[in-house]
Amino acid sequence: MLESVLGKRRLLRRWQMRVMPPMTSENLRTMNPEEAIIVSGSLKPIKVQLTPFYKSFWLKLKTEQKPPVFNNMDIPEQVPLLPLD
């Protein structure tokens, strides 16, 4: 399925034109875990390098922050259900 989305490429080797997919299903299955293929709408698929959050300085700082505490919130104990009639 994904091979058809990626399209075809043409190679010229020894005066022969070959049409083949840019990545086979085996290549897709055995990709590096830090790489991904992004397919979005009608745009061409792209191969990107992923960075885990714990290796990114800024994202790591965000995970170390304490969540905000909200005081004096007027939240009811029980939220009434909406009628589905």
- For residue 30 the two structure tokens come to 């055995």
Contact in structure between 31 and 22 (CB atoms under 8 Å): no
Q: Could you tell me if residue 85 is inside a domain?
A: no
pLDDT in tens, 29-64: 888 988 998 888 888 888 899 988 888 899 889 889
Q: Could you tell me if residue 73 is inside a domain?
A: no
Instruction: Report the pLDDT value the prediction gives residue 7, as an integer from 0 to 100.
Output: 72
- In this prediction the pTM is 0.51
Please count the structural domains in the chain: 1
Q: Could you tell me if residue 48 is inside a domain?
A: yes
By residue range, what is the domain housing residue 9?
Answer: 2-64
Instruction: Report the pLDDT value the prediction gives residue 50, as an integer from 0 to 100.
Output: 92
Q: Could you tell me if residue 16 is inside a domain?
A: yes
Q: Could you tell me if residue 13 is inside a domain?
A: yes
Helix, coil or strand: residue 60: helix
How far, in Å, CA of 3 to CA of 21, rounded? 6
Q: Could you tell me if residue 58 is inside a domain?
A: yes
Q: Could you tell me if residue 46 is inside a domain?
A: yes
